[in-house]
Amino acid sequence: MLKRNLFFLFIAFSNFTFAQNVDSVALVTARWHKQRIAPKTKLITHHFDQKNLFLANQNISYVEVKNKGNSPAFEIAASPKELKTTPTFGKENNALVAINGTFFDVKNGGSVDFVKVNGQIINSTRLEKNNSRARHQKAAIVIENGNLVLKKWDNTSNWEENLTEKNVMLSGPLLTFNHIDETLDTSAFNRLRHPRSAIGIKPNGKIILLTVDGRQENSAGVSLFELTKVMRWLGCTSAINLDGGGSTTLWVYNAPENGIVNFPSDNKKWDHEGARKVANVILLKKKQ
């Protein structure tokens, strides 16, 4: 009986490993469309339209920037109350690229996570009813002099307020940090497939701003477990989840369709018109 159980366990593990290998090969060997949009900056896209990534159709778009020299600089743009689309934020700030930021109050506006821009606190962290932190309040995107890094909560109550950098945005959860995948619980938020947005950092200094479309026949979306794999297979050794769902939007200044390169899901159509209004974004701008 024990041998039989071990045999079936081996078969199950082998099938799981085979599926992972197939998915990783599909992603790495895909014929990605690459377009230079600024110095050391490319827009990279691919539509997996044969149900060949996680046994589903998937549409992935990301901007990759080598964050050095004359490459564009990272910035945060945020509004304390007013909600705006990601393209609106991008255009108002004369940006090259914009991706939706962290989680926000859909009804009343403003981020529910700590956001600081140029030394000014735009929104403070809204803790949960039991005074605990949400999963998206345990990591931060930190920008100083146009350079972006990720930081992990140190378990102190006022951690974000003590960060000395002038530009801080809490988000999460962390997917991978310094080569180690973070532990994710099995809550519906993590395990169900949705449109997702993420930022990843590679060992060579390149940074990617990524969207995976979802809630469509043309793109199913991914769980956070699957998103972690995507970021790892793309070479990221640190990665963080942003607000996803209908907020998921990647905008590039010179792209057609109002600059939106992915297929936002908020209008439930497979087009570029469904961008949701958000409270904040991460920008790439020309260096001054």
223-276: per-residue pLDDT in tens? Answer: 999 999 999 999 999 999 999 999 999 999 999 988 999 999 999 999 999 999
Classify residue 10 by burial, with Cβ atoms within 10 Å: 0-12, 13-18, 19+: exposed
Parallel, antiparallel, or unpaired for β 139-144 and 41-53? unpaired
Query: What is the rounded distance in angstroms from the CA atom of residue 28 to the CA atom of residue 32?
Result: 9
Instruction: Give residue-wise pLDDT tens across range 113-155.
Output: 999 999 999 999 999 888 899 999 999 999 999 999 999 999 9
Q: H or E stretch including 11?
A: helix 2-29
Nearest C-alpha neighbor of 137 from the set 172, 101, 111? 172
The stretch 54-67 carries a mean pLDDT of 96
Query: What is the rounded distance in angstroms from the CA atom of residue 144 to the CA atom of residue 250?
Result: 22
Q: Are 171 and 142 in contact (CB under 8 A)?
A: no
Domain coordinates of the chain in residue numbers? 19-265+273-285
Instruction: Name the 3-class secondary structure at 18.
Output: helix
Q: Return the sign of the alpha-carbon dihedral for residues 155, 159, 164, 169.
A: positive
In this prediction, residue 12 carries a pLDDT of: 42
Peptide bond into 80 cis (omega under 30): no
Identity at 265, one-letter amino acid code: S
- Check whether 11 has a pLDDT greater than 80: no
Coil vs helix vs strand at 51: strand
